[in-house]
Structure 1
């Protein structure tokens, strides 16, 4: 098979063809990201790279068998403010290079991918240009991540993959997940913080028990005292004399100047009791802090949290409208954990890539390349419809 790949990235298409058992005679790729090209060359030195799609003369690939591609969804993304919803923006101009390549090369088969969340106007335009309706496949069927994508193709007999039952816990090198499937892996994963995972439901993070003496992991019993010695501390009396966070009663209070509210703050009790229960919600709150320490510089992503609290922030709304305690359910055993990002290898496994497929570039660039890539086993499943034709 002769293959032309646009927006090739890290050549997930080539890997998928190998997994589908389809022999490849030649594979020509267009990609401008130097880090992605480095990964591609490290794994498939035989691929011929051509650069920018806008500069491509696709007539030289006339008679090729398969056109692959998924133009960048940056301009169409639901996460982008003022995203493009019509066919007069940069996102569609990129897609039209795929259409141009299809017409000029006259490839017999094609496969085009893009995000499920793009506007319906865009989906309809793509369908009109390619002459087929999309098939939505969620990568969760073959991997540990939820990743809905639309696939436009004329490859015959495309069905939904079998659910392999792969969970997040199955791909972790260490640690404990609090969800069955990871959120969609994106190119921005390198900036993951706990807030993203718990509130925005993106950039999945996992928990590992706090390391203690002699490098052995240990979970501290979830009984906490406000100050003084923690009788359950595994560190001995000196390390045990630390400030321990526990849930405490609190109330939202206002301060007034000349009859106008000028300040809102939280007042906490020091006797372990709640405030008197009244009809006013803000009079009896619970502060349940879960940060009990940190490692490194203590920046976001380097903080130690206790699963007994399950509250990230305590914030107050002004104007007497009550308060939000920001409670999140995290299903973990009792103890204290460091919340960490997925490792590059774990991120690769979410995309069903081989371990260390993206090694050789910085971790920041690895996350970007992985997030921009395809779930290989989904592509291999679709391409399997060509097996009888090219074998």
Structure 2
């Protein structure tokens, strides 16, 4: 089987294939991040790197059997600007034909989510010689408008899967694939027919390390910054309970002064508590006014951090300071059933974390890798910062394993079951 992986990153697709024991004849990867490329070549030295996705010409490659990729999602994400795919002049792009016209005319595009059309360009070119090529496209959950645009372009409606079913992370994503399909409704719309994975009931307590290096703990200076930032940005912070899931890992660039929405806390003795954010009612009114055009500037950081009740932590980010764990002291542990901890007599202004009750640390790279279900055999040879970023950009491997497990029903492939 010959595979072309676009936006390959640290090659989570290749990890998933190996987990299933599926051998590929050729694995092409399109990636521009040099750190991610080094990681891929360290673990999969036979990978053929192609570079920039906009320069990929499938006519110069061997015939492709499987096309995979997760195009950039920032402009689709509910956590982002939700600008969708557009030029910097705000022309929204709804078809591949229009995108190619704008590209030829030298127009500049907003953000990176427009690169979905590069995925479609390449898929269209492959379909010219292989109409039955198998494909997988992953992207973030988005508004109905853009989900339909992507679905109609690719010719299939995707399946929504939350990584929380197979990991300790809340990571809701859409997967468009023809590996297994079904027709739905009066007009026979084609839908991805991938069943939901079985809930493995994996929680944060299952992936945290018993001992973490002191470098992952927040300094008193950083604790003071969080306190001041919370007061300045009208931000509240509360402790989540036991059996929680993490924030979705993202790869937002670290920017000093930005308080993002991803906090994870751990109490002692393996009982985890987490911090998550929710926009305050005032913040919601600000957003509505912004979207209605009655104010010019969006104050998107007006949020509060609240407990989750679903037993999962929120989605982690690749920003080191965003993935925090509360290492509580004796007497400050949360209730086993996920209730908020009892140390609320002297709360900080940003919620129910008492600085005297323990220390806060960020998740370690190993813990983040476990949240993305990266196997232990995967080797790392990069900085913590780059590892956080790659994991945030990557896929939850066990979700991809689940989807790829249906490959054997659709294509004759060389399968050698191995212990990964």
- TM interval, short-chain normalised: 0.5 to 0.7
2:367 pairs with one of 339, 346, 351: 346
User: Aligned in 2, Cα 1:355/1:342: closer, same or farther, shift over 3 Å?
Assistant: farther
Secondary structure of the equivalent of 1:15?
Answer: helix
CA contact (8 A) 1:345 1:355 kept: no
| Cα deviation, residue 171, structure 1 | 0.5
User: Aligned in 2, Cα 1:342/1:183: closer, same or farther, shift over 3 Å?
Assistant: same
| Cα deviation, residue 67, structure 1 | 0.1
Corresponding position of 1:173: 209
When structure 1 is superposed on structure 2, of 67-76 and 183-192 the one drifting more is 183-192
Secondary structure of the equivalent of 1:59?
Answer: helix
Instruction: Show the 5 A alignment for 1:33-72.
Output: 33-61=33-61, 63-72=63-72
| Cα deviation, residue 136, structure 1 | 0.3
| Cα deviation, residue 83, structure 1 | 3.1
| Cα deviation, residue 58, structure 1 | 1.7
User: Aligned in 2, Cα 1:339/1:122: closer, same or farther, shift over 3 Å?
Assistant: same
Q: TM-score, length-normalised on structure 2?
A: 0.60
Instruction: Show the 5 A alignment for 1:142-153.
Output: 142-153=166-177
Q: How many residues align?
A: 283
d(CA) in 1 for partners of 2:252 and 2:114? 23
Secondary structure of the equivalent of 1:204?
Answer: strand
Whether 1:112 aligns to 2:172 is: no
User: Aligned in 2, Cα 1:336/1:311: closer, same or farther, shift over 3 Å?
Assistant: closer
| Unmatched tracts of structure 1, length 5 or more | 210-298, 315-325
d(CA) in 2 for partners of 1:351 and 1:126? 25
User: Aligned in 2, Cα 1:98/1:208: closer, same or farther, shift over 3 Å?
Assistant: same
CA contact (8 A) 2:325 2:362 kept: no
Deviations along 1:347-367, one digit per CA (max 9) or x if unpaired, are 000000023736211101110
Secondary structure of the equivalent of 1:79?
Answer: coil
Corresponding position of 1:185: 249
User: Aligned in 2, Cα 1:203/1:303: closer, same or farther, shift over 3 Å?
Assistant: closer
Q: RMSD of the TM alignment (CA)?
A: 3.3
Corresponding position of 1:24: 24
User: Aligned in 2, Cα 1:123/1:171: closer, same or farther, shift over 3 Å?
Assistant: same
| Cα deviation, residue 77, structure 1 | 2.5
2:399 pairs with one of 365, 370, 378: 378
Instruction: Show the 5 A alignment for 1:192-203.
Output: 200=261, 202-203=262-263
Secondary structure of the equivalent of 1:99?
Answer: helix
Deviations along 1:102-158, one digit per CA (max 9) or x if unpaired, are 111235100000001x22222111101110001000001111101000000100151
User: Aligned in 2, Cα 1:309/1:183: closer, same or farther, shift over 3 Å?
Assistant: same
Instruction: Show the 5 A alignment for 1:263-282.
Output: none
| Cα deviation, residue 161, structure 1 | 0.5
| Cα deviation, residue 208, structure 1 | 5.1
| Cα deviation, residue 185, structure 1 | 1.3
d(CA) in 1 for partners of 2:353 and 2:358? 15
Corresponding position of 1:160: 196
| Cα deviation, residue 21, structure 1 | 2.7
Q: TM-score, length-normalised on structure 1?
A: 0.65
Instruction: Show the 5 A alignment for 1:235-274.
Output: none
Corresponding position of 2:84: 84
d(CA) in 1 for partners of 2:263 and 2:253? 6
CA contact (8 A) 1:310 1:327 kept: no
User: Aligned in 2, Cα 1:112/1:302: closer, same or farther, shift over 3 Å?
Assistant: closer
User: Aligned in 2, Cα 1:50/1:204: closer, same or farther, shift over 3 Å?
Assistant: same
CA contact (8 A) 1:189 1:367 kept: no
CA contact (8 A) 1:348 1:357 kept: no
CA contact (8 A) 1:6 1:29 kept: yes
Corresponding position of 1:278: none
1:206 pairs with one of 266, 271, 280: 266
User: Aligned in 2, Cα 1:303/1:152: closer, same or farther, shift over 3 Å?
Assistant: closer
Instruction: Show the 5 A alignment for 1:352-363.
Output: 352-355=373-376, 357=378, 359-363=380-384
| Cα deviation, residue 55, structure 1 | 1.0
Deviations along 1:169-188, one digit per CA (max 9) or x if unpaired, are 00011279844211111124
d(CA) in 2 for partners of 1:51 and 1:368? 19
| Cα deviation, residue 38, structure 1 | 1.2
| Cα deviation, residue 45, structure 1 | 0.7
Corresponding position of 2:278: none
| Cα deviation, residue 328, structure 1 | 4.0
CA contact (8 A) 2:347 2:353 kept: no
Corresponding position of 1:265: none
CA contact (8 A) 1:351 1:370 kept: yes
d(CA) in 2 for partners of 1:170 and 1:121? 38
CA contact (8 A) 2:74 2:113 kept: no
